[in-house]
A and B are shown apart, each in its own frame.
Chain A
Amino acid sequence: MNHKEFKETIVDYISENLSTKKQQEFKQFLKDNPDSQKEIEEINLLWSGLEENVEPTTAMDIKFYTMLNAQKKSKERVTLIPASENFLAKIFSKKIVYTLAILAIGFFIGNNLNIETDLSEETLQIAQKETEEVRGQLVLTLLEQPSANKRLQAVSEVNKLNSVTETIVKALFSTLNNDANVNVRLSAIEALSNYTYIPLVREGLVASIIHQKSPMVQIALADLMVKLQEKKAVESFKKLIKEEDVNVSAKQKMEESIQRII
């Protein structure tokens, strides 16, 4: 340890901030340098001067313990009633706040959704109307297709419609009376059977009986007329039965139907 180092560690030495190893080095240095010994004594004097022999009076203790007791008492009062109240209030207020917040959010969301549904109902109606129109157009277009498949598709499209226009009804009847394909005609009957509440449809169906050549169609119409209990059809069936080129089983079916209608 040199002199510079010694100077630097004096404070650490007297404030006992040195490691045991450093402390030994320091003591060795003091032994070797009597001048330093004097310096240390001086500093030690300074250091000990920092100590104060004045002691606090018992008045301080009394004050402290009075304060501590008062604290304890006031704390007991706090802990017994208001603390529990506080605790409950905290829990409840938190819950209530959350509940109210969620309610409010729900209310606003619900409100917004309502407005949206109001709007969408309007737009939905418009959209539905539009699709109905498109579908109607589609039916009419498909019915004119040369492919029987397409015409079948057209008839099945009719089943998806909520209401039929006169044009569609007319188109269906022209299919029923003129279409070359039996299946198309059969499905036309099926489609028209949904609209029998329209007098025009019933009349049209009755009128078409006489034009039918295919026994399948004749049978289907006979079934439908029984279902509808359409008396006007009886005349047409009788006429058909009299004709020679009508299928026997179809004739039988028509006769049965006449019986059942009456």
Chain B
Amino acid sequence: MNTLTDEALMLKVKSGETFRLGLLYERYKKKLFGFFFQMNKDADLSEDLVQNVFIRVLKYKHTYTEESKFITWLFKIARNVSYDDFKKNKEYRHQKDIVNVENRISSPDSIEEKMIYKENVSILKIALQKLSYEKREILLLSKYKELKYKEIGEVIGCNEGAARTKVHRALNELKDFFLVLEKR
């Protein structure tokens, strides 16, 4: 059993059994893709970013130690990959976001065709895009059951309590955005 844990697999990758990364990839590709997609709303780009994460995992495999949970380590890398991309495409992304948001709000088809729940979800997605980069990031991280506040803190570089507060604030802000958008 022990050989199948993420940590044991990663240690094998570290010791040179690179092919074992395949299993870790299968376990985390959806989570990572979802994370990136939520951050940038660009499927092609997100796929590239997932690829970048695993390239970095291989490049920095020597820095992995069994003391840290694999998912924490992985998301630390993912976060850096995402942030690097965010910095690179900041201007472009910002404009695109606004256009996207406006399109969705003014598109009568989607509102009419979808059920109320679905409508709410789509509004919520817009609201999420309105959140700041950091708040969106922490909310997405807190969605993963494997990542408790302690681990989230490790990923973003703060303590457990601070991570908890940040999640609370982000969620409250999301709620506010959501309510504003719903009324429009």
Judging by beta carbons under 8 Å apart, are B121 and A56 in contact? Answer: no
Q: A79 to B15, alpha carbons, bound, how many Å?
A: 13
**CB-nearest residue of chain A to B136:** A50
The answer to the question of A213 belonging to the interface, with a C-beta cut-off of 8 Å to chain B, is no
Judging by beta carbons under 8 Å apart, are A60 and B148 in contact? Answer: no
Minimal beta-carbon separation of A53 from chain B (angstroms): 9
**CB-nearest residue of chain A to B25:** A64
Q: A67 to B58, alpha carbons, bound, how many Å?
A: 10
Can you list 6 A-B contacts (CB < 8 A)? A49-B120, A54-B34, A64-B29, A64-B51, A68-B21, A79-B16
Residues of B within 8 A of A43 (CB): 171, 175
The answer to the question of A72 belonging to the interface, with a C-beta cut-off of 8 Å to chain B, is yes
Per the 8 Å Cβ criterion, residues 116-138 of B in contact with A are: 117, 120-121, 124-125, 128
The answer to the question of B43 belonging to the interface, with a C-beta cut-off of 8 Å to chain A, is yes
Judging by beta carbons under 8 Å apart, are A42 and B142 in contact? Answer: no
Residues of A within 8 A of B178 (CB): 46
Minimal beta-carbon separation of A58 from chain B (angstroms): 10
Cβ proximity bits B138-181 to A, threshold 8 Å, 1 near / 0 not: 01101101001100000000000000100110010011001000
**CB-nearest residue of chain B to A54:** B37
Residues of B within 8 A of A11 (CB): 142, 164, 167-168, 171
The answer to the question of B8 belonging to the interface, with a C-beta cut-off of 8 Å to chain A, is no
Judging by beta carbons under 8 Å apart, are A60 and B139 in contact? Answer: no
Q: How many A-B residue pairs have CB under 8 A?
A: 90
Residues of B within 8 A of A67 (CB): 51, 54-55
The answer to the question of B92 belonging to the interface, with a C-beta cut-off of 8 Å to chain A, is no
Judging by beta carbons under 8 Å apart, are B30 and A55 in contact? Answer: yes
What is the interface of chain B, defined by CB distance below 8 A to chain A? 16, 18-19, 21-22, 25, 29-30, 33-34, 37-38, 43, 46-47, 50-51, 54-55, 58, 117, 120-121, 124-125, 128, 139-140, 142-143, 145, 148-149, 164, 167-168, 171, 174-175, 178
Say yes or no: A48-B121 contact (C-beta < 8 A), given A60-B29, A68-B22.
yes
Per the 8 Å Cβ criterion, residues 37-63 of A in contact with B are: 42-43, 45-52, 54-57, 59-61, 63
Given contacts A67-B55, A71-B58, 5 further A-B contacts (CB under 8 A): A17-B149, A46-B178, A49-B121, A56-B50, A68-B21
The answer to the question of A16 belonging to the interface, with a C-beta cut-off of 8 Å to chain B, is yes
Judging by beta carbons under 8 Å apart, are B140 and A71 in contact? Answer: no
The answer to the question of A197 belonging to the interface, with a C-beta cut-off of 8 Å to chain B, is no
Judging by beta carbons under 8 Å apart, are A50 and B140 in contact? Answer: yes
Residues of B within 8 A of A55 (CB): 30, 33
The one of B21, B124, B145 that contacts A46, using a Cβ cutoff of 8 Å: B124
Say yes or no: A15-B167 contact (C-beta < 8 A), given A56-B46, A68-B22, A72-B19.
yes
